[in-house]
Each structure stands twice: as C-alpha cells, then as structure tokens.
Amino acid sequence: MEVIICPNAQRVGEVAAAKAARIAAPIGPKVVLGVATGSSPVQTFAELARLVASGDLDLSEASAFALDEYVGIPEGHPQSYHEIIRQTVTEPMGLDPARVHVPDGFADDLQAACQAYEDAITAVGGVDIQFLGAGSNGHIGFNEPTSSLSSRTRIKTLAAKTLEDNARFFDSIDDVPRHCLTQGLGTIMDARNVILVATGTGKAHAIAQIIEGPITAMYPGSVLQLHPHATIVVDSEAAAELSLIDYYKATYANLPEWQRLDV
C-alpha cells in the first residue's frame, strides 16, 4: 500500500490524478476507469479533466463504471449517482456516455441488474484504475461495516452513519434512500489498480483503520491492505490519526526518480 500525505485537498486531487495518468499512459485510450461519487474525488476528477483538455491524457475510448447507486431514485434526479457521474466524470472528461455505466437502482429486478453490472465489467476486461472515497465509517462504495470481504455487486442497506452523512444532499434524512446497489469488496479488489482519496478530519479515524488497523469487515476499506496496487492519497487532516506519518512522508520524499510523479 502506498500512502501519500498532501498539505491540502487541492494537492490530493493533483497527486491522485497524476498517479492515475501515470498508470493510464501505457494502457492507452481504452483505459477502464472505476469512478466514485461523493465529495472526495471531485478535485481528482477536475484535474483529470484538465489533463484531458491539455492533451496530456487520452480518454477518447475510455469506459467508466460507477461504484454504486441509490435504489428507487430515477436517473435524472439531482442526487442520483447517474446524474452526479454525468456532471463530475462523463461531461468534464469528455467520455462517450454510452461507455459510462452506473448500476440500475430503478430496475424492476434489482438482482438481475447487479449481475448485469458484473457481466458488463467482465465484458470490457475489468477495471484498470478504480477511484475510491471512504465513508466516515470506513465503507468503500456502499459496502457498509460487516460487508463480506469477497462480496460482489448487490443490494445493501445503508448504515445509520451513512444516512446521517448523506442527509446533507437531501431535504431531510428521511429522504435519503435506505437501499443501494454497490459493487462488492470482491468486485473492487479485482480492479488492477486502486486509488483512494480522503480529506478532512471527519475521515481521520476511518483512514487510520483502513491503512493501519486489522483487516476487518468492521472497516471494509481495510480489505485494500490485500490489494497489490493500492494508493491512498490523503490531506494532513485525514492523516491525523495515522501512527507512521513520518515514514509515509519520508517514503514519498525519497521516491526513486522513475517513480516520482510529475506534479
């Protein structure tokens, strides 16, 4: 696991995007992205869009797969993840909307929609770069505490903490959908590279557990300790409860030339 501590959220976005661009370069324009909603990856996606606009990153034939979607919210609803991904990923990065996928939380048969989603990821050969945020309870996607570490895309019930955290996007907490479809932890772990970003003190405890705690379904993001190519980029606030801060900083400052990011 590579841990990079940045001074602020803007820098987190720049570093995460530079890391992704480095991974994407040898893959070429057909790179398959895994994309997340939430506030965490907003700067990262904006920076990726800037790299596309400047010609430094070619996503002209890229596909994208969102992590999750609420159940029962129609596609055009401002809080549907279909809509958020359209605004933060598809349009700014100039992706072909036909190649951008979000689980269908409005399907009559939700279980079939989950299987179809897994099949669609398999059909393009899997995800090359999975972007992740983390919930304040350590969830990734909507894999709430006690999610199976080998779970696949399925229906989940949101934890009370997530309902509370996401209430800010709705008129009231009662309007937050209770159910969602989410890629499983096993699905996420199949991605060839993972980049998790987190900022702010509200994430400090979850980040410490994900990086330095035991691998446990109580902090689902801790499964990333088993991933061979996981990078976690955090600001100093989200890093506050880590015990090896000096080590992570020294490692990044002393990267060999060929590993250094161009930021």
Q: What are φ and ψ of residue 181, in 5° steps? A: -110, 135
> Is 190 annotated in the active site?
no
Note whether 13 binds ligand GLP by CB under 6 A: no
Query: Looking at beta carbons only, is 9 or 62 nearer to ligand GLP?
Result: 9
| Bridge partners, residue 182, by sequence | 68, 154
Stretch that binds ligand GLP, among 32-40, 103-111, 209-217, 248-256 (CB under 6 A): 32-40
Task: Based on the residue annotation, tell me whether 139 is a catalytic residue of this protein.
Answer: yes
For residue 205, the SS3 value is helix
**Catalytic: 254?**
no
Q: Within 13 A of 14's CA, how many CA atoms are on the CB side?
A: 11
Work out which of 13, 38, 184, 221 binds ligand GLP, going by CB under 6 A. 38
Provide, rounded to whole angstroms, the least separation between the CB of residue 246 and ligand GLP: 26
The residue among 56 and 241 lying less far from ligand GLP, judged by its C-beta, is 241
Question: Quick check: 193 binds ligand GLP (CB under 6 A)?
Answer: no
User: From the list 63, 137, 162, 222, which residue makes contact with ligand GLP (rule: CB under 6 A)?
Assistant: 162
| Single residue of 18, 24, 35, 36 touching ligand GLP by CB under 6 A | 36
Look up residue 7 and give its amino acid.
Answer: P
CB of 28 to ligand GLP, least distance (A): 27
Position 103 contacts ligand GLP (CB under 6 A): no
Question: Length of the chain in residues, anyone?
Answer: 263
Q: Which of 47, 69, 101, 137 is catalytic?
A: 137
CB of 63 to ligand GLP, least distance (A): 19
Q: What is the DSSP string of the chain?
A: -EEEEESSHHHHHHHHHHHHHHHHHHH-TT-EEEE--SSTTHHHHHHHHHHHHTTSS--TT-EEEESEEESS--TTSTTSHHHHHIIIIIHHHT--GGGEE---TT-SSHHHHHHHHHHHHHHTT--SEEEE---TTS-BTTB-TT--TT--SEEEEPPHHHHHHHGGGSSSGGGS-SEEEE--HHHHHTSSEEEEEE-SGGGHHHHHHHHHS--BTTBGGGGGGG-TTEEEEEETTTTTT-S-HHHHHHHHHT--GGG----
Q: Which of residues 121-150 bind ligand GLP (CB under 6 A)?
A: 133-135, 141-142
User: Would you count residue 219 as binding ligand GLP (CB under 6 A)?
Assistant: no
Told to check if 43 binds ligand GLP by CB under 6 A, we report no
If binding is defined by CB under 6 A, does position 90 make contact with ligand GLP? no
Side-chain half-sphere CA neighbours of 10 within 13 A: 0
Nearer to ligand GLP, 141 or 184 (CB): 141
193 belongs to the catalytic site: no
Part of the chain binding ligand GLP (CB under 6 A), chosen from 16-24, 31-39, 43-51, 57-65: 31-39
Instruction: Give the footprint of ligand GLP on this chain (CB under 6 A).
Output: 36-40, 67-68, 133-135, 141-142, 162, 166
Residues carrying an active site annotation: 68, 137, 139, 144
